[in-house]
């Protein structure tokens, strides 16, 4: 019988380099499960959460493009924390279902490793930590995170800082790490790739 895949939780702040790291593991044959993409898909056009959202909050929450009207939902949630809880009670089980489906598929495919790319892994407390064998943190100083995100999408600095403040602090994330990949100021893309490839080799990929 085939050994079960190694379950690696991958996290890091916005712009730390998670996508770059997960792409390298994917090149080496790991299955990558992207928690944010799964969550977004549930409320995109035709998404599995939309019928329940329309039933709970009203059909006006669904935009003309058939996707969740994010601005309208944000306004509702902002008004009342109870709305957030109701929304999460709809979305979370669907995300868990799809995550389980992708996990089973990776097992059937005989993947040696499954990488769970979860930006808010540390923030989620025990929920994710208990599901993975090891937690890998991509570590980066905030100034470099801000510069990378700005270069990527041209957001104003204050906006990126706001996202950073809403995420776990660097020290908190590091204290949850079993493995740290350094990708801060002065680390070139090449050096990052080298670190991750060595790690992948150590994991037998």
Where along the sequence are the contacts to ligand ADP (CB under 6 A)? 12, 14-20, 148, 152, 183, 187-189, 192
Chain centroid to Cα 198, Å, comes to: 23
Secondary structure, 3-state, 113-148 = EEEEECCCCCCCCHHHHCCCCEEEEEECCHHHHHHH
**Given the complex with ligand ADP, which of 73 and 146 has the nearer CB atom?**
146
CB-nearer residue toward ligand ADP: 6 or 141: 141
Q: Is 61 or 119 the residue whose CB approaches ligand ADP more closely?
A: 119
Shortest distance, position 188 Cβ to ligand ADP, whole Å: 6
- Cβ atoms within 10 A of the Cβ of 96, count? 12
Quote the least distance from Cβ 140 to ligand ADP, whole Å.
8
Place of tokens 């489906």: 101
Least distance to ligand ADP, CB of residue 162, Å: 15
The nearer residue to ligand ADP, 10 or 68, going by C-beta atoms, is: 10
CB of 16 to ligand ADP, least distance (A): 4
Strand-pairing partners, residue 11, are 137
Residues facing residue 134 across a β-bridge: 8
User: Per the structure block, which two tokens stand in for 140?
Assistant: 């980066």
């Amino acid at each position: 019988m085939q050994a079960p895949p190694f379950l690696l939780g991958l996290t890091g702040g916005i712009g730390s380099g998670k996508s770059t790291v997960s792409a390298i593991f994917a090149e080496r044959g790991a299955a990558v499960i992207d928690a944010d993409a799964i969550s977004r898909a549930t409320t995109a056009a035709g998404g599995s959460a939309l019928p329940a959202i329309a039933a709970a909050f009203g059909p006006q929450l669904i935009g003309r493009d058939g996707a969740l009207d994010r601005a309208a939902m944000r306004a509702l949630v902002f008004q009342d924390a109870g709305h957030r809880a109701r929304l999460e009670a709809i979305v979370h089980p669907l995300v868990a279902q799809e995550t389980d489906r992708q996990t089973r598929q990776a097992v059937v495919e005989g993947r040696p490793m499954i990488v769970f790319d979860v930006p808010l892994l540390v923030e989620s407390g025990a929920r994710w930590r208990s599901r993975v064998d090891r937690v890998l943190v991509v570590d980066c100083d905030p100034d470099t995170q801000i510069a990378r995100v700005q270069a990527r999408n041209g957001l104003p600095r204050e906006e990126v800082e706001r996202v950073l403040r809403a995420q776990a602090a660097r020290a908190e994330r590091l204290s949850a790490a079993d493995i740290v990949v350094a990708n801060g100021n002065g680390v070139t893309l090449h050096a990052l790739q080298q670190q991750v490839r060595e790690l992948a080799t150590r994991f037998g990929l």
